């Protein structure tokens, strides 16, 4: 359904959403916008999902972008083992969580709080990272899930026409 539009823009500050069938997205101040490649792919069950290539904690990752998930980042144990040496963690505790959020199943996981996590060109304060066991993660397509918690203070645009995810940077 989303792909029917040339772009969909989300502005967390004004709590507005823009959808365009006809106009292309043109950033108001191009120097203030980061852009990352994205595409719609089919999951194992044939469902379309949006994936983007974006650096997280200094490593390029292909992540599933979930506009309905406000909880942060969901990754596998293996990815966490790689990431944990590059970030400071203020809290790490056992938890449970839906993966994808609100979706497939509830799994045991660990929940980490990272005071400053680099996501693309942004630094996200108090980022929540949910760490899932490898077997649960494999059942779900093996892609990290990036939720919209990391964009609560800015604008982002899903530009389907040009296969780009745009994220507005702080002034």
CB 61 within 8 A of CB 45: no
Q: Which residues contact 153 (CB under 8 A, 6 or more apart)?
A: 12, 13
* Residue 114 in tokens: 């990272």
Query: What is the number of other CB atoms lying within 10 angstroms of the CB of residue 54?
Result: 23
- Comparing 133 with 163, the larger pLDDT belongs to 163
Q: How do residues 91-126 score in pLDDT, each as one tens digit?
A: 999 988 765 544 566 778 899 999 999 999 999 999
72 phi-psi bin (left φ>0, alpha ψ -120 to 50, beta other): left
- What pLDDT is recorded for position 79? 93
Q: What percent of the chain has pLDDT over 90?
A: 59
Res. 2: pLDDT tops 90: no
CB 87 within 8 A of CB 114: yes
Res. 54: pLDDT tops 90: yes
pTM: 0.86
pLDDT-based confidence at 10, cuts 50/70/90? very high
């Amino acid at each position: 359904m989303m792909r029917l539009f040339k772009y969909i823009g989300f502005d967390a500050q004004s709590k507005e959403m823009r959808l365009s069938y006809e106009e292309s997205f043109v950033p108001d101040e191009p120097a203030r916008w980061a852009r990352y490649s994205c595409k719609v792919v089919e999951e194992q069950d044939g469902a379309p999902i949006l994936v983007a290539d974006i650096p997280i904690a200094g490593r390029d990752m292909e992540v599933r972008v979930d506009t309905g998930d406000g909880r942060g980042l969901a990754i596998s144990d293996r990815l966490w083992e790689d990431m944990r040496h590059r970030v400071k963690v203020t809290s790490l505790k056992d938890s449970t969580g839906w993966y994808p959020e609100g979706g497939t199943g509830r799994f045991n996981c660990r929940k980490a709080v990272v005071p400053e996590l680099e996501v693309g060109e942004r630094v996200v304060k108090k980022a929540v990272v949910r760490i899932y066991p490898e077997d649960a993660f494999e059942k779900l397509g093996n892609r990290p899930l990036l939720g919209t918690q990391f964009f609560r203070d800015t604008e982002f645009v899903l530009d389907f026409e040009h296969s780009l995810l745009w994220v507005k940077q702080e002034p």
